[in-house]
Each structure stands twice: as C-alpha cells, then as structure tokens.
Homo-oligomer: A and B are copies of this chain.
Amino acid sequence: MNKVVKIGLIGLGTVGSGVAHLLKHNHEEILRKTGIDLKLAIACDIRADEIGEKNSAITYTKDWKDVIADPEITIVIELIGGTEPAYTIITEALRAGKNVVTANKKLLAEKGRSIFETAAASDKTIGFEASVGGGIPCIRALNEGLAGNRILSISGILNGTTNYILTRMEEENKSFNDALRDAQEKGFAEADPAFDIEGYDAAHKICVISTLAYGRWIDFSAISIQGITQISPLDIRFAKEMGYAIKLLGISKIAGDEIDIRVHPAMIHQSHPLASVHNENNAITINGDMTGAVTLHGKGAGSFPTASAVASDIIQIARGNISLPETSAFSEAKYLSSERRITRYYMRLRTKDRPGILAKIAGAFGKHGVSIASVIQKESNSEFVPLLFMTHEAVENNILAAIDEINGFEFVDGKATLIPIEDSFANR
C-alpha cells in the first residue's frame, strides 16, 4: 500500500525549483524505493504569479500562511533563507503540527536552540540535511551512521565559492580578485560575495554540525572566523613548494569539556584528504572514537545536489525515520581558551634585504618560546623581499605575541600574513 504524503514548499529560488523538479522527475523512483507517494501540493513564492505553472496540480500562492493553514500538508519546506520571515515560518509550521525541512544554516546557527525546542514541544521533527554540505549526506552520517561514536573532531571544506577561488588561484596562478571575478562569471559566487569569502557561510555550517556532534549549544559569536581575502598567489605558490595546499576550513575539536571551533584558511599537507578537494566541491571529515576519520566528498551546493538533501529529509520524515536530536540532554558549550591552544603557523613578511634581519626575527620567535620549522628566502631585485616561515607547534598566544613584535621592526613592510597549519587531521 502506497502512502500519500502532501508537501508544501516555501521559496522557489535555485534550491526550491530544484526540489520541485526532483519531486516530479523522480516521483516514480521514490515510490518504487520507499512506497511513498510524495505530492507537492502547494508552493509559495513572492513571484508566484510569474512562475506558477498553469493547469498544474500544484496550488501557487504568495502568502506562506496559506501553506501552513492547509490541513492536508504534513511537511513544510522552508527555502527562502535568512532570518526573517524564515524563523516565523518554521516556528508557526511546527506549532501548527507540521514537520519542517530547511536548508537554512544561518538561521539554525543563530536560532537553532529555539527552533529545536519548539519542535520538541510540538512533538514534530525538523530535517536540515541541506544546511551543511549540499548534496553530501553529512548530517545523516553524523546522527545516524556514526551514532555509536563519541565525535572527537570535525573538519571540512564547507563553502564551494571559496574553494573554487582557491583552486583557480592554485591552478592558474590567478590573483584573489581575478579568481573571484571568474567565480562570479561562472555563477559560483554572488554579486556581493562577502558572506562567502569572509568565512561566515562556512562558520554557520561548522556551528550547526558541531552543535549536534558534541551535544553542546555553541554560540555562533564564539567562533573565530577569518576569510580568504588576505591570501596571495605567493602564499599558494610557497605552500605548494613546501608540500602544502591552502584551503578554507571549518574546524571543531573537543578535548575534555572544551570546544575549539573556528573558520580560517589553513595550510594542509598535500597528502591530507581535504587537499585534493577541488573547485566548488565540498568535503567533510568526521572523526569518531570508533571509526577514526570518515570523509564525505561531493557537490556542496547547486540546485539539484541541494534538492537531493532536501528530498532525503522529506523521505525520512514520510517514513517516520527521523529522530530529533535529544536537545534536552544538551549542555552549554565551554570553549578552549587561546592561552592553551597549541598550533603551528605559516607567516609571510616583506622585509628590507640586508644582513641581520633573519637573526632579529628568529630572536623574536625564540624569546616567546616559538621554534622555527622552516624558512624560505628568495633572491629579489626590489627593495623588499618576501620571507616565509613555518613554525613548530607552540601556544598560539606566544606565536601571536612574537609576530606582534616582528610587525613592529622598522625593516618590515606592512604586516605579516598569517595562516595556521593543520597537521592533526591527516588520515592515511
């Protein structure tokens, strides 16, 4: 006996129209595989008059309240993004006894606690596979596939725009600005790219998945966030020479009761599984105490891949196979203080080319207990020469104090560019 499930969809943009396409195109395949007859019954968009198909079985509306008011709809899909009215829509839908599916990482990162609590109080569920990693089923892998593990760390390439830009810079030796323009022309970057290139999108995603992984309420504002606008082709070329790649990573780790969570460009060794993730692809490594590292790789954005993630939630809800996270057992996150964070850094300086400079810089590092792993200085005909350092592991605050001192030397032009080195996730 097939089971009919009626769906309401709010937001017919890139992802929403992908979902509508998937539900139509793969209707028979889903029915065969699951016995569930999914019907998109009502769709809401402010442009409903233009994009609504004539003679369609779907009712089009401009008012999201029509979707929630429809008693036959059991699953509401929110795909408009942003904070409002998305928050109100999701909350009202849950309270009206609907299950909800959303791709809204910003909202979940900022107001996830309130949304999960409303869902629990309404005895309804919320699917959000599409909020992290696009078509990669990483939320399902974490909550279900790796449910028997204590999660130790997560690291991922979570933003396709920045990974596309870094790939173009690496493969074509492009400047950041040229690579950004290329990404915009190909549709991989927004006209206003700040949200992606400054690291906020990746931060929302690492916040959502880490909250679930560790069962701690992570405050979005506690995440240290750095984007890729400071990366130069020089950094990428030198990274390559030293056997590294530069990737924008979202990273979280738990040690004891303390969480270290951040987004920044990182040097990772070329043998690291995330080093070979190219172009707009995403990948995420989840480190469980029983499995070790499990890495998932695929398309992190785009209409159809993201629609696949939304469909996964719809199907799991229709089967009755999604459990809400047990948020009643969640605790407040505590964070690793930067006095105890151990890391390594890459540093690029422009200095005058004269004797004694290297000794002064090495002296500043030594004074703060930081030892140098490698140095590259190349010949140059200009007044200033680039000087590259990689440190050994040290307390982050000590490294930063040394670099502050170095930035103050009169022979240094401007300020040092800093990129953390991530060794700890290697998985061979």
State the A residues within 8 Å of B (CB): 18, 22, 26, 29-30, 32-35, 129, 135-137, 140-141, 144-150, 215, 273, 276, 278-279, 281, 288-299, 304-305, 307-312, 314-316, 319-323, 325-326, 329, 427-428
Contact = CB atoms under 8 A, between A and B. Distances in A.
A137 B140 CA distance: 9
A294 B215 contact: no
Given A145-B140, A146-B137, A278-B428, A26 B289 contact: yes
A140 B144 CA distance: 8
Contacts of A26: 148-150, 289-290
B319 A291 contact: no
A378 B308 CA distance: 50
Contact of A135 (B279, B290, B320): B290
Contacts of A297: 273, 294-297
Contact of A312 (B135, B146, B279, B427): B146
A298 B295 contact: yes
A148 B312 contact: yes
Looking at chain A's contact residues, is the secondary structure mostly helix, strand, loop, or mixed? mixed
A35, A276, A297: most-surrounded residue (chain B CB, <10 A) = A297
B290 A311 contact: yes
Given A278-B428, A308-B288, A148 B22 contact: yes
A147 B315 contact: yes
Contacts of A310: 148
A155 to B, nearest CB: 14
Contacts of A33: 147, 215, 325-326, 329
Contact of A147 (B299, B316, B323, B325): B316
Given A276-B276, A428-B279, A299 B308 contact: no
A214 B296 CA distance: 22
Contacts of A329: 32-33, 35
Contacts of A294: 135-137, 296-299
Nearest to A167: B428
Nearest to A291: B135
A32 B135 contact: no
Contacts of A315: 144, 147-148
A183 to B, nearest CB: 16
13 contacts: A18-B290, A22-B290, A26-B150, A33-B215, A33-B326, A135-B291, A137-B141, A140-B141, A140-B144, A294-B298, A296-B297, A320-B320, A321-B323
B146 A34 contact: no
Those 7 A-B pairs whose CB atoms lie nearest each other, nearest first = A137-B145, A148-B311, A135-B291, A294-B298, A290-B308, A321-B321, A295-B297
Nearest to A19: B148
